[in-house]
Amino acid sequence: MPLIHGLGLRVWVASVMPRRLTAMRPESSTLTRPAHPLSPARTMASLLHQIQHQNVTIATPLPLDSGQILPSVTIAWQSYGALNADKSNAVLVCHALTGDQYVASDHPGTGKPGWWARMVGPGKPIDTDRFHVICTNVLGSCMGSSGPATPDAATGAPLGMAFPVITITDMVRAQAMLLDHLGIARLHAVVGGSMGGMQTLAWAATYPERLASALVIASAARHSAQNIAFHEVGRQAIMADPDWQEGQYYSSARAPTKGLAVARMAAHITYLSEEGLTEKFGRRCRRAISRASVSTPISRSNPI
C-alpha cells in the first residue's frame, strides 16, 4: 500500500522482504583484484585497503549537515544491467550499515555472493533485463568511498577521526552527485532496507522530483532513544578495545576487532523480534538428549 502518493512519487513501506519489483542481468563493473594475495593474518583495515574498487572522484564541494565541507567526494559503486537510451530505467539500491556496493557481485574481500544476490538478477525481483541497477558505497564507509580511510591531502595519512561526522542525508547528497556524474536525472525507483531504507526515505524527502517510486524495507525515519543508547554501547565497546589507538589504527598491524565484535553482538540484539530472541536465547536445553541418556542419573561426571 502506498504510504505517500503525490508529486508523482510513490513510497511503499514493507516490514519484510518484498517478493518482486521486476528482474536484472548482472553486468558488473570491472573490479581490480589486489596485486598480492590477502593473508588471513592481515588486519581487516589492511585487507580492505588492498582492494581497488570502481570509483569516481568528483571535484565538487559537498556541504555537510555538520556545517563542514568536503572539498571533493570519491564514490565507489557497482552497476548491473543496461541503461536505456533515455536513462529512465535506473534503480538505486541503498545498502545497510554493514553492507556495501557489492549487492549482486561476489565480494572481493570474502569471495561470498553479493548480499542481495537472491533479489537482484535476471528473472529476480529487481530485474536487470529491465533495469539498470546501481548500488553505491555510502559516504563514510571503508569500501572505496570517501571516509576515515581517505588520505589527508596535506599529510597523505588516513584521516581517521578527522573525517567529519556525517548524516543519512549527507550520504544521499553524495549519491545524487554520482547520478549527476552519470547523467541520470530521474530514478525509476530507490530501494533499501534498514539503514538503506533510511536513505530511501531521505531520497523521497530531499529529491522527490528525482524518483518515481521508493521502496522502504524494515526501516524507520529516525532512531528511537533505545536505538541511540545501544549504538553508544557499541561505540564504547570499540573505543575500550586496547587496539583502538584513538582511532589511528590504519597504519598499525592492530585493529579494534574484539571491540567491534562486542558492538555487533549488542547491535544484533536490537535486530531481533521477541520470537527471534527466544529462538537464540530462550530457556531451553540446547543439546539433543537421547532416550538412553534420559534414564541415566545426572551427576557431575554426566551433566546435562
CA distance 73 to 61: 7
The pLDDT confidence band at residue 3, using thresholds 50, 70 and 90, is: very low
Looking at the fold, whether 33 and 134 belong to one and the same domain comes out as: yes
Do 240 and 267 fall within a single domain?
A: yes
In a domain, residue 286? The reply is no
pLDDT digit string (tens) for 91-105? 999 999 989 999 999
The mean pLDDT of 196-206, rounded to a whole number, is: 98
Instruction: Let me know whether 47 and 191 are in one domain.
Output: yes
> Is 232 a member of any domain?
yes
Residue 120 pLDDT > 70:
yes
In a domain, 42, yes or no: yes
Are both 76 and 177 inside the same structural domain?
A: yes
pLDDT of residue 283: 87
Q: Which domain holds residue 122?
A: 2-220
Give yes or no: residues 84 and 18 share one domain.
Answer: yes
Secondary structure (DSSP) of 176-224: HHHHHHHT--SBSEEEEETHHHHHHHHHHHH-GGGBSEEEEES--SS--
Statement: residue 65 has pLDDT above 70: yes
DSSP structure string for the chain: -EEEEETTEEEEEESS--S-SEE----PPP-BPPSSPPPTTS-HHHHHHH-B--EEEE-S-EE-TTS-EESSEEEEEEEES---TTS--EEEEEP-TT--S-SSS--TTT-PPPTTTTTBSTTSSEETTT-EEEEEPPTT-SSSSSSTTSBPTTT-SB-GGGSPP--HHHHHHHHHHHHHHHT--SBSEEEEETHHHHHHHHHHHH-GGGBSEEEEES--SS--HHHHHHHHHHHHHHHHSGGGGGG--TTSS---HHHHHHHHHHHHHHH--HHHHHHHH-SS--S---HHHHTSPPBTTB--
> According to the model, what pLDDT value does residue 294 have?
45
Give residue 51's pLDDT band: very low, low, confident or very high (50, 70, 90). confident
Q: Total domain count for the chain? A: 2
Residues 233 and 132 in one domain: no
> According to the model, what pLDDT value does residue 68 have?
97
Is residue 300 assigned to a domain?
no
Residue of 54 and 42 predicted with greater confidence:
54
CATH code: domain of residue 14: 3.40.50.1820
249 and 207 share a domain?
Answer: no
pLDDT at 288: 58
pLDDT at 52: 83
Is 176 inside a domain boundary? yes
Amino acid at 6: G
128 shares a domain with 104: yes
- Same domain? For 149 and 276 the reply is no
Residues 33 and 133 in one domain: yes
Lowest-pLDDT range of 12-21, 121-130, 138-147, 282-291: 12-21
Note whether 119 and 76 are same-domain residues: yes
Confidence of residue 291 (pLDDT cuts 50, 70, 90): low
Q: Are residues 206 and 229 in the same domain?
A: no
